[in-house]
Amino acid sequence: MSCFRGLKKEGHVEEIDVALVGGGVMSATMATLLQAAEPSWKIRIFERLGAVGEESTNGWNNAGTGHAALCEPNYTPYGPDGKTICPNKAITINEQFNQSLQFYSSMVAREELQQDFLCTTPHVTFVRGEKDIAWLQERYRVLKDQPLFHEWNTRKIRK
């Protein structure tokens, strides 16, 4: 129970309404939404690491939060036929990312977050070998006309 050390102070247990485990962007987002919905609630976020946002939210860890699913190969596997890319997961994650981006943008507009909270990072998918190059070309073909992937329309796949 090391991540809950802060709940007990000298024999007294602090009563709270919501405990969020993990000090990353998702807990911060949930706390923000809950506080807006129920301002009287006592919300606590608990983090086991030395700083917040150092695990999944950290950009070097390819966060599961805050990316647009544009380059992650595991989101576009081949379908049952072994030849056609199945884009459903990538599209769903991209839709969720854009909803999050709208939420954070509204917070920047209300000056609840600083503008530099929102920053773009270029993504690249690197593959080697004929099989993976064919997969990447098929992935591009399947996703390029999806509205949320429109930026891909101007990019070229380089060998």
> What is the per-residue pLDDT for 2?
38
Under a CB-based contact definition with an 8 Å cutoff, are residues 78 and 86 in contact?
A: yes
**Which residue from 49, 42, 32, 44 is spatially nearest to 7, judged by alpha carbons?**
44
> What is the per-residue pLDDT for 62?
53
The structure's pTM equals 0.65
> What is the per-residue pLDDT for 3?
44
Q: What is the DSSP string of 100-140?
A: HHHHHHHHHHTTSS-GGGS----------SHHHHHHHHHHH
Tell me the pLDDT of the chain (159 aa) as tens digits: 334 444 555 667 788 999 999 888 788 888 988 998 999 999 999 988 887 777 766 665 555 445 677 777 888 888 899 888 999 998 998 888 888 888 888 888 888 777 776 766 667 788 999 999 999 999 888 888 888 876 655 555 454
Q: Taking the alpha carbons of 61, 67, 72, 76 in that order, is the dihedral positive or negative?
A: positive
> What is the per-residue pLDDT for 140?
87
Query: Structure tokens of 116?
Result: 């530099």
